[in-house]
Amino acid sequence: MQRIRLLLVDDHPLFREGLSRLLASEPDFDMVAQCGTATEGLQMLGRFDVDVVLLDFDLGVEHGNQFISSARQSGYAGKIFMVTAGMNATQSSIALKLGASGIILKTSSPGTLAKAIRLVAHGEIWIDQKVIQQMADRALQGGEHVLPSTLTEREDQVLHGVFEGLTNKEIGTKIGISEDSVKTTLRYLFRKTGAQTRSQLVRIALEGSFHTNKGG
């Protein structure tokens, strides 16, 4: 049976030591080295043959994605498996884009971790369900951001109410919607523009940041 050679890069000594001993007890794993920084990890890659790098994202002043870039640039062609306490959707996307073969959370059970390492070593991709959920949510939010400068008809009406100096209630009465709907629309306008107040919103609108749907 061909053993899977592992390198563990994690800045948390207790976790690193514990996981090393745990994985070393698996019959098909060979823990060739472990270290706490990206720099040391890159040195280890030059010194040992490694099939899978188990990589934490947070490495003190460095982060895992920097390690992946450097490792790929230095010619490392093996697998890199993120073992992390948590990464946000952007970080996960970048890690996968840079060449990570998967992401697993440290909170996963040891059995799941061992199973995932084996799959990754054999060329599969393993991404934790929570990470997938985060990326999917972010993709949906990103979809809303694709056209931040385009206003819907209602946003346009509300914005014009703000231009006229009307209160939320007056805007609602004028365009036939509730005050709460006006507030919701305004909140969305604030989110789109980064404005915190009506006066900031007016300025941003006048600077031509918006394109209305009806040319108003």
Partner 1 sequence: MGRILRFLQKTPRTVLTSAAILIAVIVLVDWRNPVNAYFGFLYVFPMLLVGTILSWWQLSLIAVFCTILSEIFDPFPFVPATAVPQDILLFIALAGMGLFSRESAVNRRLEVENRRKVEKEAAARREAEEQLEFLIQTSPVAILVMSAGGEILIANSAAGHLFRVGGGELVGRNISRYIAALGRVPSVEQTSHTFRTEMQGRGTRENGDTFPVNVFFSTYETALGPRLAALVVDASEDLRDRAEYGLEQLMAGSRILVGAVSHEVRNVCSAIAVIYENLARSGDFGRNQDFEALGSLVEALKQIASLELRKSTTGSEAKVLDLSEILDEARIVLEPYCAESDIEVTWDIPGSLPSVWADRHGLLNVLLNLAKNSRRALEGAHLKRIDLSVTAEHRIASIRFCDTGPGLSSVENLFEPLQKGADATGLGLFLSRAFMRSFGGDLRYDAGAPGCCFVIELAIAGNEEE
User: Which is it for strands 58-59 and 62-63: parallel, antiparallel or unpaired?
Assistant: antiparallel
Least separation in angstroms between CB 49 and partner 1: 25
Nearer to partner 1, 110 or 216 (CB): 110
Residue 188 CA to chain centroid, in angstroms? 23
Nearer to partner 1, 25 or 152 (CB): 25
Nearest to 4 by CA among 98, 165, 91, 116: 116
Phi-psi region of 176 (alpha: psi -120 to 50; beta: other; left: phi over 0): left
Nearer to partner 1, 78 or 160 (CB): 160
Least separation in angstroms between CB 168 and partner 1: 7
Least separation in angstroms between CB 123 and partner 1: 26
Nearer to partner 1, 12 or 118 (CB): 12
Nearer to partner 1, 152 or 199 (CB): 199
- DSSP state at residue 211: B
Least separation in angstroms between CB 98 and partner 1: 13
Cα dihedral 48, 52, 54, 59 sign: positive
Between CA 64 and CA 91 the distance in angstroms is 9
Least separation in angstroms between CB 137 and partner 1: 3
Q: Which residues contact 1 (CB under 8 A, 6 or more apart)?
A: 27, 28
Residue 111 CA to chain centroid, in angstroms? 25
The residues binding partner 1 (CB under 8 A) are 12, 14-15, 18-19, 21-22, 25, 58, 60-63, 85-86, 88-91, 105-107, 110, 130, 133-134, 136-138, 141-142, 145-146, 148, 164-165, 167-168, 186-187, 190-194, 196-199
